Structure 1
Amino acid sequence: MTAKTPRTTPDEPAPSTSGGISLRDRAIDHELALVSQSFRFLLDVTPVNVEPAREEFLSSGRLPEFVYRDLEDDPDVLRRVLKDIPIQEVDDAVLGTLLRNKHRELSLQIDLLESRDTEAFMPLSIELYGAITPSLRHTAEQILESVTVPKSTKDSSYRAEEFLKLAFEEIGHYREQDPDIEMHAEIREDVSGVMVSGESLLMGPSSKVQKVRAAALLHHEVGTHLVTHVNGSAQPVKIMGSGLAGYDETQEGLAVLAEVACGGLTAFRLRQLAARVLTVHRMVSGANFAEAHQALLEDGIPASSAFTTTMRAFRSGGMTKDAIYLRGMLELLEHLKDGGSLDLLLLGKFALEDLPLVTDLQERGVLEPPRLTPRWLEDEDSAARLGRAAALGDPALLVAS
């Protein structure tokens, strides 16, 4: 992880590779990518005892005491490794900007890991993910007021083992495009729900996925998060696999657009995204766990789902990430409305605001074409659905009919 990067003297220019990126610049990028991949931030800030905590809270009202996995690396060690990367020596102006921003973000993530379950965590989380604007909060409130979930006579769901089989089939589709891709799925005891970490789709043994949501969830997790990980990891700029600074918002927005593109964004799901925004806002405004959960019940969210949403916000001391799903989707819809494309966003994991810099690298021949094309973009109706979604002024109208 701390391999020495090639050095040159001032009189000896670093040898260039395609697109004018020097071997030294690429080596610094590789080293930064290794640090980024050396810890699994989302896993490390998520409790391992969600299900027993849920059962106890819903039955007794006792506030949950969350337990977290031990950190594999001492934050001080990670911080020292990061400090030793000669990030200021990157010659290429565009790549240097991207790598320096990522370097700062990794430093902030290390600070967050060190601050788990302390009062210092939430301010750092707000710094990482941004604040909730009044406009975003108003949009979330409108969604909960205007979108209703149709009453269903039965709740048909896939168990974890059944959904895992569907995930294997979906991964198999992408292996038909490229048999050498690193993409996996597994059930883990220390995971609740369904999530992606690195090259793996992870799910808890008690996870259930509504059948009406299964295809959209596969496009979200496999067709977006894993596909962009594979595409980014294959780039000469390796940090695009683990993600450039601030990539989460655009990545999650893109994954929600995948749900829209396949016609799988349900009323329940859109309300869930809005509820996440409001729960983060309530937490930041001073509500405790029980108060935030009760507010969701009053918003018409089922008790168990309300627990999940509240847990996601309050984990580790105040994780504000959940506000970015709705915000990222709305920003990408505006991007499409202005004539933008999603194509380059599939080359790896990066923020929409970095699109001009990534475009520069692509036009100079630094970046490679994507190894994989998402299945949801191959749907003949996806372009029409996305076009209609971008033209709508009201997010409540995005729900699949």
Structure 2
Amino acid sequence: METNEVTKVLLEIDKNIDSLVKQIELLSYVNPLNIEEEKKRFFSSKYLTDPVFTYPAINFDKFKQHRKLFTQSLEHIEDVEIKNLYEDIIYAYSGLIQCVETIGSGKKFYYNCLRCFGTPTEKDVENAKFILHFDDEKKDDVIFQPKYSAAESEVFFKTFSEKYDFNYSITHSDKISAIAMVLNNIKSLVLNTNHIYSENEIAVLTNHEIGVHMVTTMNGLLHPLKIFSHGFPNNEETQEGLAVFSEYMSDNLTVKRLKELAYRVIAVDSLAKGYSFSRTFRMLHNNYDLDRNIAFYITLRVHRGGGFTKDYLYLTGLKKIYDYYHEGKDLNLLLTGKVTLEYVNEIESLIEKGLAVPAKHVTDSYAENKNTNKKVDFILRSLK
């Protein structure tokens, strides 16, 4: 085939996959609709009766999505490197569909998550426990005090975003387990109306959600290939690593925040041990002396859907990006979209072939390392 024909075939396959996966935003489906009601019931039961969560209805034909994904004519892609990438992508998207279709089914969802996201290794758990040995910052410090409602917090996100050449919407919800999140498919930042934000949380979230997640959302839309927008296989670890690393570079990453990520690893590990929601909660609340509200939301994040293992990847991703940066490598390549560290060579190759473009929007905090927290640096250097 002529070069133009080869490109035409690839773009057609990419377009087909794009039309199929637009609705597969896992975070849109895995957040329970009745969080606050079940939280009250759980606390009333003295932490003994597991919550019974309900989830949004799925608005696509799951079987049809699988079938159409696997009927793509990848054999017509002559470039072996690109063909292998698209094979990986189809398997990854199929796995995400299986996650969505089994939300709320207990073990089925958990096993599908294991295939998509994995679970902590012994080394990961040891790293988490190592972090928990350190004393965090003084809790009475004014920057950690709850101060701003979701509505009041909007102005900080809007002001922070003025440095970037893109627009997005801000919405509010009382049905998310995070205190804020970016929905990639609709270019929207969602703020949790049940949360009162501290100055530190706003500093963290502006860098994390806008400086990385929204930046990679917007960069992902600029390529001829739509896979940069919907995501490379296993991109969650890289994306969350980049996002937490922006907290570090902007001097907002604290020991307190690192311990939060460590508790998530411990909580995900509890799934592998067969812990129920209530047992994971009691471990965090009783054994680790976590405030019951904090323990509840960490447990919720991990047990939603039936066992959502993604949360351990924040810490493993941070360590990988921290090491990558200190090896003098180019972070901008990883900002080109929802990409994965393990596919850096493929990203460079696609840019050289004119099928992708360099990152237009660049994370502001990456321009200069402003971290002054020596304890945080010591911890990150020491992780295995």
Do both share a fold (TM > 0.5)?
Answer: yes
Aligned to 2:303, which of 303, 309, 314? Answer: 314
- Structure 2 matches for 1:356-371, cutoff 5 A? 356-371=345-360
- Structure 2 matches for 1:110-189, cutoff 5 A? 110-118=97-105, 119-152=107-140, 155-174=145-164, 177=165, 181=166, 183-189=168-174
Contact preservation (8 Å) 1:144, 1:274: yes
Alpha-carbon deviation of 1:13?
3.4
The alpha-carbon distance between structure 1 residues 148 and 385, as it changes in their structure 2 partners (threshold 3 A), is: closer
**Matched residues in 2 for 1:79 and 1:321: separation?**
22
Letter of the 1:70 partner, please give it.
A
Give the secondary structure class of the aligned counterpart of 1:156.
Answer: coil
Alpha-carbon deviation of 1:153?
6.4
Aligned to 1:104, which of 88, 91, 112? Answer: 91
Alpha-carbon deviation of 1:301?
2.0
**Matched residues in 2 for 1:13 and 1:386: separation?**
55
Contact preservation (8 Å) 2:88, 2:233: yes
**Matched residues in 2 for 1:388 and 1:145: separation?**
16
Task: Tell me whether 1:44 sits opposite 2:34 in the alignment.
Answer: no
Letter of the 2:291 partner, please give it.
P
Q: Where does residue 71 of structure 1 map in the other structure?
A: 58
Give the secondary structure class of the aligned counterpart of 2:197.
Answer: strand
**Matched residues in 1 for 2:148 and 2:18: separation?**
36
The alpha-carbon distance between structure 1 residues 72 and 170, as it changes in their structure 2 partners (threshold 3 A), is: farther
Q: Which runs of 5+ in 2 are unaligned?
A: none
Contact preservation (8 Å) 2:332, 2:359: no
**Matched residues in 2 for 1:39 and 1:271: separation?**
31
Give the secondary structure class of the aligned counterpart of 2:4.
Answer: coil
Q: Which runs of 5+ in 1 are unaligned?
A: 1-11
Q: Where does residue 238 of structure 2 map in the other structure?
A: 250
Task: Tell me whether 1:83 sits opposite 2:65 in the alignment.
Answer: no
The alpha-carbon distance between structure 1 residues 14 and 397, as it changes in their structure 2 partners (threshold 3 A), is: closer
Give the secondary structure class of the aligned counterpart of 2:182.
Answer: strand
Give the secondary structure class of the aligned counterpart of 1:356.
Answer: helix
Moved more, 225-234 or 38-47: 38-47
Q: Where does residue 270 of structure 1 map in the other structure?
A: 258
Q: Where does residue 259 of structure 1 map in the other structure?
A: 247
Contact preservation (8 Å) 1:47, 1:68: yes
Aligned to 2:180, which of 194, 201, 221? Answer: 194
Alpha-carbon deviation of 1:63?
1.8
Alpha-carbon deviation of 1:88?
3.5
Letter of the 1:54 partner, please give it.
K
Contact preservation (8 Å) 1:194, 1:207: no
Alpha-carbon deviation of 1:242?
1.6
Contact preservation (8 Å) 2:31, 2:175: no
**Matched residues in 2 for 1:48 and 1:342: separation?**
37
Contact preservation (8 Å) 1:88, 1:100: no
Aligned to 2:205, which of 208, 217, 224? Answer: 217
Contact preservation (8 Å) 2:233, 2:340: yes
Contact preservation (8 Å) 1:195, 1:202: yes
TM-score (norm: length of structure 1):
0.87
Give the secondary structure class of the aligned counterpart of 2:170.
Answer: strand
Task: Tell me whether 1:383 sits opposite 2:369 in the alignment.
Answer: yes
Contact preservation (8 Å) 1:228, 1:348: yes
Q: Where does residue 293 of structure 1 map in the other structure?
A: 281
**Matched residues in 2 for 1:110 and 1:243: separation?**
14
Contact preservation (8 Å) 1:147, 1:271: no
Alignment identity in percent? 26
Q: Where does residue 355 of structure 1 map in the other structure?
A: 344
- Structure 2 matches for 1:319-338, cutoff 5 A? 319-338=308-327
> How many residue pairs were aligned?
374
Task: Tell me whether 1:33 sits opposite 2:33 in the alignment.
Answer: no
Letter of the 2:108 partner, please give it.
A
